[in-house]
Amino acid sequence: MDDTHVLAVIGDPIHHSLSPFMHNLAYAELGMKNRYYVPLHVRAERLTAAIEHMRALGIEGFNATIPHKENLVPLMHELDPMARTMGAVNTVVIHADGRLSGYNTDGYGFVQALRQVHAEPLTGRILVLGAGGAARGVVAGLLQEGATAIRIMNRTPERAVTLAARFQPFFPEQTVIPMPWSDTLPACDLLINTTSLGMDSQAGAVPDLRQLPETALVYDIVYSPPMTPLLQTARLRGLQVENGLGMLIHQGARAFQIWTGQPMPVAAVEKGLRAQRGIGSLSTY
């Protein structure tokens, strides 16, 4: 009897994904020699066909990245509460009978990574830059963790309004406030960037951080490069900074456990990813 287990990550593009390296490293660390994780380039118009092919091939599940997370929702037979709240799926289990169970591990991954560097209750001033798919995961994770008030700033104000309205029915006692973009950021205790801010000439200049208190934490979900322009600017002001490598690992760890029933060896995976990408600790910068 063939006991080979194949999982995948789908996206368009997909060549940049570190998920295959991460999951295959975890399998190797745990001696799971019969498990394999592969990247699959799937265009948006081929999503349904791709799922049928995965079912036929016996693939047991997959992760999804851009542009598939929202489009997967109506294709699922069951949704976990976080995926339903976010309206997006990034992890799928393909059951033996063909049923699809959808999960979203982005919010979990962000919160787990955040808690490694920020153990305080989330009752302070929180500002999220961006209102796209990544912001959905961050905001959902913060609200589920008990954040009392979150401000969302986006260059297209309507998107911030839409995102704030998305979560109101699920978290009626908490506040999500859309704000117009400003090149001078208001005072906040936790600043989270979910945009490509400062990464290229089209992304715009890094905003003025002078109103942030000395105790503020600046978190950029980008992990390559490890020290983004935003984090460089924050570091020069003496602020605590963190990049998105931890979020990548912890969202993957949750998917790993959903599929295998075992915890991912997170420390070994982080060590391997840092070595493979040449990413040192931010304390070395």
HSE-up (13 A, CA, CB side) for residue 125: 10
Annotated active-site residue 69? The verdict is yes
Give me the phi and psi of 44, to 5 degrees please.
-55, -40
Set 69, 151, 250, 254: catalytic member: 69
Under a CB-based contact definition with an 8 Å cutoff, are residues 234 and 214 in contact?
no
Distance CA 16, CA 22 (A): 13
Q: How do strand 190-193 and strand 126-129 relate by DSSP bridges?
A: parallel
**Beta strand spans in the chain (E):** 5-11, 35-41, 61-64, 78-79, 91-94, 100-103, 126-129, 149-154, 175-180, 190-193, 217-220, 240-242
The two structure tokens encoding residue 140: 């959902």
What is the distance between the alpha carbons of residues 151 and 148, in angstroms, rounded to a whole number?
10
Which residue in 201, 206, 159 sits closest to 179, CA to CA? 159
Please identify every residue annotated as catalytic.
Answer: 69
